[in-house]
Amino acid sequence: MDQKQSKNNEKTWRLIVLLAALTMLAAGFWRDETLFVLRRAISICLGCIGIG
Amino acid sequence: MCSGGPSAYVWGVLALADLRRQKKGRKLVQVFVTGAGNAWLPGFINGTIYQGQLKRLCLPGLNCYSCPGALGACPLGSLQSSLADPHLRISFYVLGFIFLLGGLLGRFVCGWLCPFGLFQELLHKIPVRKWKPERIPGLHRRLLWIKQAVLVVFVVLLPVFGMLVSGYGQPAFCTYICPSGTFMAGIPLMAANASYRELAGWLFAWKALILLAVIVTSLKIMRPFCRYLCPLGALYGYFNRISLYRIRVDSDSCNNCGACTRQCPMAVQVPEDGNTAECIRCGECAAVCPTGAIHCGFPRRRSSVQEDRPIA
């Protein structure tokens, strides 16, 4: 019984996480956050090179 | 290329991930993902980075976006940059990407899709005497907390406080720790571009020291950075218990021989708790199981294979 309940809890949490992920992705695309990621990613990260 | 690239990437992974031959399939996927994600070859020659539209998309693993060949963005670097940015503050896109991969795959990303994981595995193949920290369980358990601390302090707190105090924070993990950045971006860019070599100072020396430490420990210990330091692995690990891709143990078939636990590169007690946050879904346990009691993958419909075995 406990095992079945924990399995149901896992499914519920998985559903919540996936729905939250899709909602956040939609919000991110709506706010055009990919442009922010692009701007960061196309300028060389000086920290990564060790001179930032 | 912009629309076809990501779908070709996903289909390449799916085509190579033949789960019946998991060991060979995994190595092929790791090599494909590393090559496909860093395929802009002119960057390595000219000492520049790719600046096209594909960089709007995040790559799944710890793949520095300043690597000369990188075609996508590092999710951890993007997350820190968004937290350090006074205008954006939080990126729903990057968080949603991490949640989606976490909910579907968990730390499968670490085992199959991370270039730096592949690098450590290849180093571990060099024949020197190996050492397993899990032989000292207390030490191993304490070391596991380091990556959680790195996640909280270097990925979240320092970028946010930097932004609050000075108006603009910096990606502290990338700047002070990330050995993947030094290996994939720093060294190739410096090798190809003399102006970067002239700018290198104590910070590069510090980061090169961290990379050297990771290389040396990788010879002795399997994936030391993934086990104890990687904040992206810590993040994906939170999703391991609920992710769709998971380990299932058929308690009726298991004869408790312990072969799976001995084989596990991450020291997971597979029959007791296969879906712990440390499991990277490499499938080594399923490959060595003499009775075929372990299934690693997405759920089967109406299967006789049970969910995780209850703790004995």
Is the Cβ of A19 closer than 8 Å to some Cβ of chain B?
no
Beta bridge pairs of residue B297? B246
Hey, of A17, A30, A40, which one would you mutate to test binding to chain B, going by the most B CBs within 10 A of its CB?
A: A40
Residue B304 has pLDDT above 50, yes or no: no
Per residue in A4-21, pLDDT (tens digit) is 788 888 899 999 999 999
Max avg pLDDT among B1-10, B21-30, B88-97, B122-131: B122-131
Please tell me the predicted confidence (pLDDT) of residue A40: 86
Please tell me the predicted confidence (pLDDT) of residue B155: 96
Two tokens at A30? Answer: 């709506």
What average pLDDT score do residues B61-85 get?
A: 94
User: What is residue A32's three-state secondary structure?
Assistant: coil
Please tell me the predicted confidence (pLDDT) of residue B218: 97
Residue B133 has pLDDT above 60, yes or no: yes
pTM (2 decimals)? 0.90
Q: Which tops the pLDDT comparison, B301 or B69? A: B69
Chain B CB contacts of A3 under 8 Å are 307, 310
Residue A52 has pLDDT above 90, yes or no: no
Please tell me the predicted confidence (pLDDT) of residue A6: 80
Per residue in B5-54, pLDDT (tens digit) is 777 777 777 666 655 555 678 999 999 999 999 999 999 999 999 999 99
Q: Which tops the pLDDT comparison, B166 or B303? A: B166
- Out of B55, B170, B239, name the one closest to residue A42 (CB): B55
Please tell me the predicted confidence (pLDDT) of residue B15: 66
Please tell me the predicted confidence (pLDDT) of residue A45: 77
Please tell me the predicted confidence (pLDDT) of residue A4: 79
Per residue in B181-201, pLDDT (tens digit) is 999 999 999 999 888 888 888
Taken in order B178, B184, B187, B190, is the CA torsion positive or negative? Answer: negative
Is the Cβ of A8 closer than 8 Å to some Cβ of chain B?
no
Is the Cβ of A4 closer than 8 Å to some Cβ of chain B?
no
Residue B306 has pLDDT above 60, yes or no: no
- Out of A7, A27, A31, name the one closest to residue B307 (CB): A7
Per residue in B234-291, pLDDT (tens digit) is 999 999 999 999 999 998 999 999 999 999 999 999 998 889 999 999 999 999 999 9
d(CA B287, CA B99): 28
Hey, of B78, B87, B93, which one would you mutate to test binding to chain A, going by the most A CBs within 10 A of its CB?
A: B93
